[in-house]
Amino acid sequence: MHKATVAGFISVLALLLSVYTALVTHRQERLSALPLISFRRNATEQGVVGTYIENGGLGPLLIKSFTPASSNALAALRSDFPTVAFDSVTPGAVLRPGERLWLFHLPANDVKDGILYDQLADAIDEVFEYCSLYGNCWMACSVQDDPRCKGEHPYDMIFHPNIWQQVF
């Protein structure tokens, strides 16, 4: 009877360890596929300046929704820089890790006043809701102080104080 009890106890421990390992593996797979949207303003070697979003995460980034900037901000940019081109952002678009999507751009030669360009570009507030493959979604704003985007960041999941409680 004693040997059977020990064997049963070891079997239960092995089962619990297997379940725990499966949960941790599942969590690790979810974390390894997190997207991360970032807004960048840049000039290219091809002589183009503009603002784009980039997926700086490890997994695909699905654009769930997009709220464009106000028409006043766009009109101000267009009035001072008539050659600016606004690119279309489509909900449902997917960005692979490292992939970029231009929001607006213009020839670098057309930017005579870089300070004015920066001020106008900073005023363009665009809001994205984006998701991971697993359906976790976040908000991101091109203007950092926008209260609509004060929430969790995808990588907060990694450093969350209760991460181990979420595993169990």
Q: What is the pLDDT of residue 162?
A: 59
Residue 117 lies in a domain: yes
Task: Give residue 110's domain range.
Answer: 35-152
Residue 24 lies in a domain: no
65-105 pLDDT, tens digit each? 988 877 788 888 888 888 888 888 889 999 999 999 998 88
Place of tokens 């239960």: 12
Residue 105 lies in a domain: yes
pTM of this prediction exceeds 0.75? no
Residue 27 lies in a domain: no
Residue 29 lies in a domain: no
Q: What's the CA gap between 86 and 103, in Å, rounded?
A: 6
Q: What is the pLDDT of residue 168?
A: 47
Residue 7 lies in a domain: no
How many folded domains does the chain comprise? Answer: 1
Residue 94 lies in a domain: yes
Amino acid identity of 7?
A
Residue 22 lies in a domain: no
